[in-house]
Amino acid sequence: MDAGQVSGAASSSQATAGEVAVADDVHESQPQRRDQVRLAFSSFLMLFVELALIRWITANNVYVTEATNFVLLASFLGIGIGFLNAASGRDYLRWTPVALLALVGFVLAFPVILHAKKGPDQFTGVGQIPALPQPVSFSLVFLLTVAVMAGLGQGVARIFIRFRPLSAYRLDILGSIAGIALFTLLSFLDQPPVTWGVIAGCGLAVMLLPKIRIWQLTAIAAVIVLLLLESLTPHQEWSPYNKILLKKSTGSSVKFVWANNIPYQGVHPLTAIRRYKQFYLYPYQHVSRASLGNVLVIGAGNGNDVAVALSKGARHVDAVEVDPLLLAIGRQYHPAHPYQNPRVTTHVGDGRQYLQDTSKHYNLIVYALPDSLTALAGQSAIRLESYLLTTQALAAAKAHLAPGGTFTMYNYYAPFVLDRYATTIEDVFHRTPCVQKGSIDNGRLMAVLTVRPAGPVANCTSFWHGTRVAPATDNRPFPYLRNAAIPSNYLWMLGAILLASLLLVRISGGRFTRMRSYLDLGFMGAAFMLLETKNIVQFALLFGTTWFVNALVFAAVLVAVYLAVETARWVRLPRPAILYGLLIAALALAWVVPQESLLSLPVVPRFLAASALAFAPIYLANLVFAQRFSGVESSGTAFAANLLGAMVGGTLEYIALITGYQFLLILTGILYGLAFVIGLRRKSSQPSAPG
């Protein structure tokens, strides 16, 4: 299935050898080897395309960056519709090349670019014409994504139903593992969209064989050409996180970095910094030149802060930056050449993870404009820097200060965000921070917060005296969310998605009564989605909020699913009540063990403990699913019910904005409990076999 979709598909397995399930009126007890390869390949392609769409659409449409699982939910819906039509006369796969061309053409013709911080022309499209209204852009992207994934889903489903349910799911998972592995490799190689398009287009052509038509090949070729033209955009590159575009203003020595259609950073010469960007210099008003032995810059970007630290006499600078392409830009374009300086060591990685794993202590720690614009792909509301700005993260920074050391952080803050960080500093350092304020940009105030655990900040003329705002925590790492609530725009979006889903499923999939007997599988899908989301964000905390950790967790979830399938194929499983009991016990253990107890462990024990706590529930959940799925009469409809349940789980994950992520374990347990009760009722309502 898919790595964002492993969520929906929970896992399956064969109950007992020789058990044959009838699949959507298709009977083939001995599928050929060719069909096994086709199913694994189709599953690989379906996951690969979904991951590519999540990454690519987000990079071209600023609206979508605010709703990180928007494309994921559309993909779930589309694949679910495809499975509901596994054996129907409707041929969605036939039209997939056209749907893909329409989606790619629309996104490129009507991008959403943040042109100005405010005003009627805040968002623009091609040629600075006004962008489409957000509801229109959202709706068309959603519907076209559903159309693309419905075709791919149907292509997988048509082969899926020829197998026994668990044999099919086993091949599906193997294909999905290959999909996440290839996408991870391409991310590592910084490949542009044309590479993804060639793989997706060629794969789609293979799926359409032997009945592929000229017009379908033409549509596929047009997709590749459009993505090639985008990939050849001058001064544009793709990192594992962002589409990076480098621009230079006329008559200016400053180069500007745009990330995912948003103005992001400027490559400033030191002369320009001293004249126009003096906030870079503020922290050094409170420290002496002689005290700057070791300096740590988290969020080093293209090197502005590192250049300033060197100019102020830092004898060594550790520069931590999560996006390797930003470091490369700094090496190539920064006029001060900070990253070529022998006094500088660069570290590509997550700032919080660096603090957890280093044993070094620093005279000055700088949080330098940490604002990623990027969230974990496809799931959760965790931005790359979210865990860097919690109470626990600042405590880790404090622990790495040398005696007499200083901590400083700065950015353009909304008023409540500034008060939140000042409150956090006060709670962690037990000192009121010094605050220096600069210009206001679109209601956000440039401010520098500085604190010194050993005593008051030297040369400070203004200490913070604002309103206390509850800090962000590792359980609820949402520093940019004013209150513990789901924002109204999210509620409207989720409501519209669920309503559209009901209509599309009814129109394209027939009566909902088809899935009535698989309601428990729907609850399993929703529960598994929440469980996967919880594990993704937990591993991001424990091992870094990076694309590589994210990809490894997806792959590990798929491997856990596969192991459950193999277990159920070869071992006679205990009755459902026992499996559900073990699952609830594993969820309870994960709830009881505090995250901070794992953070204090060395890397290897931390990994082993985190894996045991995270993957034991996943493994058991997939044994539960395997036992149920092995005996379904219509594997396509059952799988669709599970996927659509996962889509509901994708909307329920927003509850974490109120409760924090730990509560998702409780919600997961409730959903699995409901699945168990529904399963009991289903069995009790079935007629007994004649004696």
How far is it, in rounded angstroms, from Cα 240 to Cα 265? 17
**pLDDT score of 664:** 94
Cis? peptide before 210, omega within 30° of 0: yes
pLDDT tens-digit readout, 607-620: 888 889 989 999 99
Please check the confidence at residue 25 and state whether its pLDDT lies above 50: no
Same domain, 219 and 295: no
In percent, the amount of the chain with pLDDT more than 70 equals 90
Q: Is 453 exposed, middle or buried (0-12, 13-18, 19+ CB in 10 A)?
A: middle
How far is it, in rounded angstroms, from Cα 47 to Cα 50? 5
CATH number, domain at 617? 1.20.1250
> Of 411, 436, 451, which closes a domain?
451
**pLDDT score of 119:** 55
Asked whether 5 and 76 are in contact (CB, 8 A), the reply is: yes
Mean pLDDT of the chain, nearest integer: 87
In percent, the amount of the chain with pLDDT more than 90 equals 58
Residue 262 lies in a domain: no
Report the candidate in 428, 347, 367 with the shortest Cα–Cα distance to residue 394. 428
Q: Rounded to 5 degrees, what are φ and ψ at 277?
A: -125, 60
How far is it, in rounded angstroms, from Cα 301 to Cα 267? 9
pLDDT tens-digit readout, 323-372: 999 999 999 999 999 999 999 999 999 899 999 889 999 999 999 987 75
Same domain, 284 and 428: yes
| C-alpha to C-alpha distances, 233 to 106, 330, 509, 642, nearest whole angstrom | 18, 20, 41, 41
Same domain, 356 and 210: no
pLDDT tens-digit readout, 508-566: 876 777 788 899 999 999 999 999 889 888 888 888 877 788 888 888 888 999 999 89
Residue 476 lies in a domain: no
Please check the confidence at residue 481 and state whether its pLDDT lies above 90: no
Residue 130 lies in a domain: yes
Name the token pair of 114: 């943040």
Please check the confidence at residue 1 and state whether its pLDDT lies above 50: no
Full residue range of the structural domain in which residue 287 is found: 273-371+391-451
Please check the confidence at residue 8 and state whether its pLDDT lies above 60: no
Least confident of 112-121, 645-654, 672-681: 112-121
How far is it, in rounded angstroms, from Cα 14 to Cα 570? 8
How far is it, in rounded angstroms, from Cα 198 to Cα 204? 10
Asked whether 113 and 124 are in contact (CB, 8 A), the reply is: yes
Using DSSP's 3-state secondary structure scheme, residue 267 falls into strand
Q: How confident is the model at residue 26 (pLDDT cuts 50, 70, 90)?
A: very low
Same domain, 206 and 306: no
pLDDT tens-digit readout, 278-322: 899 999 999 999 999 999 999 999 999 999 999 999 999 999 999
Please say whether the dihedral angle defined by the alpha carbons of residues 453, 455, 458 and 463, taken in this order, is positive or negative.
positive
Same domain, 354 and 501: no
Same domain, 224 and 280: no
> Tokens 């048509």 sit at which residue?
158
Radius of gyration, alpha carbons of the chain: 26
Asked whether 360 and 332 are in contact (CB, 8 A), the reply is: no
Residue 145 lies in a domain: yes
Characterize 376-391 residue by residue with b for buried, 16 or more Cβ atoms within 10 angstroms of its Cβ, and e for exposed: bbbbbbbbbbbbbbbb
Same domain, 199 and 277: no
Please check the confidence at residue 15 and state whether its pLDDT lies above 50: no
Please check the confidence at residue 28 and state whether its pLDDT lies above 50: no
**pLDDT score of 382:** 61
Please check the confidence at residue 380 and state whether its pLDDT lies above 50: no
Residue 545 lies in a domain: yes
Same domain, 28 and 92: yes
**pLDDT score of 30:** 59
How far is it, in rounded angstroms, from Cα 84 to Cα 512? 10
pLDDT tens-digit readout, 47-68: 999 999 999 999 999 888 877 6
> Of 432, 451, 470, which closes a domain?
451
Q: Is 313 exposed, middle or buried (0-12, 13-18, 19+ CB in 10 A)?
A: middle
Asked whether 166 and 11 are in contact (CB, 8 A), the reply is: no
**pLDDT score of 68:** 67
Residue 62 lies in a domain: yes
Residue 243 lies in a domain: no
Same domain, 665 and 591: yes
pLDDT tens-digit readout, 411-448: 888 899 999 999 999 999 999 999 998 877 766 788 99
Q: How confident is the model at residue 249 (pLDDT cuts 50, 70, 90)?
A: low
Same domain, 529 and 434: no
Please check the confidence at residue 211 and state whether its pLDDT lies above 80: yes
How far is it, in rounded angstroms, from Cα 247 to Cα 119? 23
Asked whether 197 and 48 are in contact (CB, 8 A), the reply is: no
pTM of the model: 0.87
> Of 404, 430, 451, which closes a domain?
451
Same domain, 292 and 211: no
Question: What single string gives the DSSP state of each residue in 630-650?
Answer: TT-S-HHHHHHHHHHHHHHHH
Instruction: Return the half-sphere exposure (C-beta side, CA atoms, 13 A cut-off) of residue 201.
Output: 22
pLDDT tens-digit readout, 138-195: 999 999 999 999 999 999 999 999 998 889 999 999 999 999 999 999 988 999 999 9
Residue 186 lies in a domain: yes
Please check the confidence at residue 690 and state whether its pLDDT lies above 50: no
The tally of domains found in the chain comes to 2
Question: What single string gives the DSSP state of each residue in 518-537?
Answer: GHHHHHHHHHHHHHHHHHHH
**pLDDT score of 422:** 96
Same domain, 114 and 53: yes
CATH number, domain at 402? 3.40.50.150
